[in-house]
């Protein structure tokens, strides 16, 4: 088997925001995971779990409070030199939930997609620049005629394709897709996920796919990490987490995923999660899920469970697993 190095190694990442002298929001509180080249890591959890903050810390929209982020073998969690900063701006890209909010309405698609090329002067002639943009439009299933149009002339799914083209034109090694398909209709979601898979096959790109809805994550991820209140509660190969979920929170999230086969769906008991995710401001001791867990025991109020390996590469943080 080929011995590959991870493209991204996140170790004990913390992202805390101090609100005032007494309160700190512990949005991300010590999470670790790796992404291999050409793989997709699905990071899931409800709103407030810290998954989007994790993506934003990795791409340095926030300065991490502590921990290490190694991208392409280089530490990027602290201060960066010019060369590493430039590499990061090209080799790691992000796609956001609402493409309309991040596509300049006054710019034509050709200039939106070409923005990265223009900033980094990555062409020797205007013809070369435009040709790269046309190729990218075709790669994402649009045509060169679309290049002279404005964002408002496209549907939501097409706008997300423009967002993907804009990210891809810099030939990145990693794309962070933050709820990139959540605002789209289900049929369009499937199209965008299939497009991302096709591009991954052709280019070997890795994705960090952040989503609250597990149904699409299932179709794209090689590995899954489940976050709850700033911490990783379960992680492992996607098949193991889907077929044999261990943590009561993962089980509840998965029980809500629609199953196309009515017989299997009937046998699958829905676990209703009661209450909302608690506040990440100074969480109390013990397991952070205890207030919503039907299996909580005495120890759960006293000790925050550590991630333990329950089968090869499959980790769970829960006192039910010794
Ligand atoms: Fe539930 Fe306890 Fe496991 Fe937390 S540690 S998920 S409260 S059983």
Q: How far is the CA of 315 from the centre of ligand 1 (A)?
A: 14
320 lines ligand 1 (CB under 6 A): yes
Structure-token pair, residue 264 = 């299997």
What residues are paired with 18 via a beta bridge?
A: 24
> Phi, psi (5° rounding) for residue 8?
-140, 130
Contact 193, 111 (CB under 8 A): no
Q: Which residue has the tokens 């697993």?
A: 321
Q: How far is the CA of 293 from the centre of ligand 1 (A)?
A: 6
Please, how many CA atoms are within 13 Å of residue 201, restricted to the half-sphere of its CB? 8
296 lines ligand 1 (CB under 6 A): yes
Q: Which of 229, 273, 310, 318 to mutate to test the pocket of ligand 1 (most atoms within 8 A of CB)?
A: 318
Nearest CA-CA partner of 314 in 255, 249, 238 = 238
190 lines ligand 1 (CB under 6 A): no
Local confidence band at 260 (pLDDT 50, 70, 90 cut-offs): low
183 pLDDT higher than 90: no
How confident is the model at residue 76, as a pLDDT? 94
To the nearest 10 degrees (0 to 180), the angle between helices 186-203 and 156-168 is: 20
314 lines ligand 1 (CB under 6 A): no
> Phi, psi (5° rounding) for residue 317?
-110, 90
Report the chain's mean pLDDT, rounded to a whole number: 90
Q: How far is the CA of 24 from the centre of ligand 1 (A)?
A: 24
Measured between alpha carbons, how far is 38 from 27 in angstroms, rounded to an integer?
28
Q: Which of 252, 286, 305 to mutate to test the pocket of ligand 1 (most atoms within 8 A of CB)?
A: 305
For the ranges 84-98, 142-156, 295-309, the lowest mean pLDDT is seen at 84-98
Measured between alpha carbons, how far is 207 from 219 in angstroms, rounded to an integer?
13
252 lines ligand 1 (CB under 6 A): no
305 lines ligand 1 (CB under 6 A): yes
Beta pairing, strands 174-178 & 92-95 = parallel
Contact 115, 89 (CB under 8 A): no
Q: Which of 227, 233, 248 to mutate to test the pocket of ligand 1 (most atoms within 8 A of CB)?
A: 248
Q: What is the pLDDT of residues 190-225, one digit of tens each?
A: 888 998 999 999 999 999 999 988 888 988 999 999
103 lines ligand 1 (CB under 6 A): no
How confident is the model at residue 115, as a pLDDT? 92
42 pLDDT higher than 70: yes
Tell me what the mean pLDDT of segment 112-123 comes to.
91
Q: How far is the CA of 96 from the centre of ligand 1 (A)?
A: 33
Q: What is the pLDDT of residues 222-258, one digit of tens each?
A: 999 999 999 999 999 999 999 999 999 999 999 877 7
φ/ψ region of 235 (left if φ > 0, alpha if ψ in -120 to 50, else beta) reads beta
To the nearest 10 degrees (0 to 180), the angle between helices 156-168 and 126-139 is: 130
86 pLDDT higher than 90: no
Helix or strand run (H / E) with residue 34: strand 24-35
287 lines ligand 1 (CB under 6 A): yes
244-251 contacts, C-beta under 8 A, 24 or more apart: 244/311, 244/314, 246/310, 246/314, 246/316, 246/318, 246/320, 246/321, 247/289, 247/316, 247/317, 247/318, 248/289, 248/293, 248/294, 248/295, 248/318, 248/320, 249/273, 249/289, 249/292, 249/293, 250/226
245 lines ligand 1 (CB under 6 A): no
70 lines ligand 1 (CB under 6 A): no
> Can you tell me which atom of ligand 1 is nearest the CA of 295?
8
Please, how many CA atoms are within 13 Å of residue 81, restricted to the half-sphere of its CB? 3
DSSP designation for 119 = H
Q: What ranges make up the beta strands (E) of 36-150?
A: 40-44, 66-71, 74-75, 92-95
Q: What ranges make up the beta strands (E) of 163-321?
A: 174-178, 206-211, 223-228, 231-237, 308-311, 314-316
235 lines ligand 1 (CB under 6 A): no
Tell me what the mean pLDDT of segment 296-306 comes to.
96
């Amino acid at each position: 088997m080929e011995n590959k190095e991870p493209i991204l190694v996140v170790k004990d990442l913390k992202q805390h925001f101090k609100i005032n002298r007494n309160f700190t929001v512990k949005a991300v509180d010590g999470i670790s995971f790796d992404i291999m080249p050409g793989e997709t890591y699905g990071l899931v959890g409800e709103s407030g779990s810290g998954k989007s903050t994790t993506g934003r810390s990795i791409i340095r929209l926030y300065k991490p409070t502590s921990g290490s982020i190694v991208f392409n073998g280089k530490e990027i969690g602290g201060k960066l030199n010019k060369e590493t900063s430039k590499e990061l701006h090209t080799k790691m890209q992000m796609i956001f939930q609402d493409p309309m909010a991040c596509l300049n309405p006054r710019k034509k698609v050709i200039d939106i997609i070409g923005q990265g090329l223009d900033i980094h002067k990555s062409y020797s002639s205007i013809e070369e620049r435009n040709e790269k943009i046309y190729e990218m439009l075709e790669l994402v299933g649009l045509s060169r005629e679309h290049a002279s149009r404005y964002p408002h002339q496209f549907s939501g799914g097409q706008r997300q394709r423009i967002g993907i083209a804009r990210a891809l034109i810099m030939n990145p090694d990693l794309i962070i897709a933050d709820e990139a398909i959540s605002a789209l209709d289900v049929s369009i979601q499937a199209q965008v996920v299939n497009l991302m898979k096709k591009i991954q096959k052709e280019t070997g790109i890795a994705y960090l796919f952040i989503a609250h809805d597990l149904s699409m994550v299932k179709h794209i991820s090689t590995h899954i990490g489940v976050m709850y209140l700033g911490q990783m509660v379960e992680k492992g190969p996607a098949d193991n987490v889907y077929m044999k979920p261990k943590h009561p929170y993962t089980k509840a999230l998965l029980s809500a995923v629609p199953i196309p086969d009515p017989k299997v769906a009937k046998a699958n008991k829905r676990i209703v999660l009661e209450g909302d995710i608690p506040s990440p401001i100074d969480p109390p001791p013990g397991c952070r899920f205890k207030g919503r867990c039907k299996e909580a025991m005495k120890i759960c109020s006293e000790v925050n469970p550590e991630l333990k390996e329950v089968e090869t590469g499959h980790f769970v943080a829960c006192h039910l697993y010794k």
